[in-house]
Amino acid sequence: MHVLITAGNTVVPIDRVRALTNVFTGRTGGRIALHAISRDWSTTLLTSHPEVFSAIQGSTPLPPDFRLLAYRTFDDLHELLETEVRRGGVDVLIHCAAVSDYRAAGVFSPRPGTHFLPESGQWVGTNGPPTLDDRAAAKVKSDEPELWLRLVRTPKLVDFVRQAWGFRGVLVKFKLEVGLDDARLLEVAERSRIHSAADLMVANTLEGADAWAFVGPLGGHYQRVSRDDLPRRLFDAVDLVRREMGDG
């Protein structure tokens, strides 16, 4: 069996030297990859932090068929993931990378006479309509009192997997929320799973991410598992889904 795992974070370039990103380093995806290897699964890991995987791998030997492919940006991951899925031969896709929801679409500064009023959320212009100047450059200059970054939505890569890329194996999606109680988290997670046509969802909150996650639905319900036990419990769930699909 061949499993494809995404891990880590994507970088959103602002210019050639600056970027936005998030705090995730791919440790969970790396641990899942090592567990897959322990089960003698052929494993491909797409990660933004190969050095983190090397650190958690330690002295664990890697089989000859293990592949690690590094990415940095949203576009890098998009290209790698699409290529691997379209190539075929992937039985299980575990998508736990923390992918940027937005990409940079310009850097701007208010033109003289243009002001933003935080208390009202409005732009005003004393010399005509409020206007912004484009400040995009290979290295955006730091000579303005304030800069405005325009962000536009990126597509959800996991939503391409079924229809656009034709994946028919087991699809596992991850969902992280902030500040939700269990009931609300599971409501959001299940709706997200159905939207992406995923077979399984791993859901947790930022507050509890170091300790636990929910995995499901299994028998119509989600099960809370410890972080340390997540890789094993996740692959047990994957095996169950595969049996139900008639592929086991």
| Nearest alpha-carbon partner for 97 in 45, 34, 133, 51 | 45
Examine the domain organization and report whether 114 and 207 are in the same domain: no
What is the tally of structural domains in the chain?
2
Higher per-residue confidence, 209 vs 87: 87
- Residue 104 CA: distances (Å) to CA of 54, 110, 177, 225: 31, 18, 23, 37
119 and 212 housed in the same domain = no
Alpha helices in 88-229 (DSSP H): 182-195
Of the pLDDT bands very low, low, confident and very high (cuts 50, 70, 90), residue 137 is: confident
Residue percentage of the chain with pLDDT more than 90? 84
The pLDDT assigned to 245 comes to 86
Contact between 65 and 88 under an 8 Å Cβ cutoff? The reply is no
Last-in-domain residue among 87, 120, 152: 152
Range of the domain at 140: 103-152
User: Are 229 and 208 in a shared domain?
Assistant: yes
User: Residue 48: which CATH number?
Assistant: 3.40.50.10300
Please check whether residues 38 and 15 belong to one and the same domain: yes
Encode pLDDT of 19-29 as tens digits.
Answer: 999 989 999 99
* pLDDT (average), residues 14-23: 90
187 and 95, same domain (yes or no):
yes
Q: Tell me how far CA of residue 199 lies from CA of 118, 163, 185, 195, 215, in angstroms.
A: 44, 14, 17, 11, 11
pLDDT band at 138 (very low <50, low <70, confident <90, very high): confident
Q: What is the DSSP letter of 205?
A: E
d(CA 27, CA 95): 13
Q: Over 70: is that where the pLDDT of 247 sits?
A: no
Query: Among residues 152, 182, 213, which one ends one of the domains?
Result: 152
In a shared domain, residues 83 and 127: no
Q: Do both 121 and 57 map to the same domain?
A: no
Per-residue pLDDT, averaged over 63-74, amounts to 96
- The yes-or-no verdict on residue 53 having pLDDT over 60 is yes
Same domain, 89 and 6: yes
pTM of the model: 0.92
Same domain, 45 and 162: yes
Are 216 and 119 part of one and the same domain?
A: no
Q: Say what the alpha-carbon torsion angle 234, 73, 151, 113 is, to the nearest 10 degrees.
A: 150
pLDDT tens sequence across 158-181: 999 999 999 999 999 999 999 999
83 and 130 fall within a common domain: no
Q: Which residue has the higher pLDDT, 139 or 187?
A: 187
Query: What phi, psi does 148 have (nearest 5°)?
Result: -120, 125
Same domain, 166 and 81: yes
The residues, any chain, with a CB within 8 Å of residue 75's CB and separated by 6 or more, are: none
Q: What local confidence, expressed as pLDDT, does residue 182 receive?
A: 95
The answer on pLDDT for 248 being more than 50 is: no
Say if residue 209's pLDDT is above 90. Answer: no
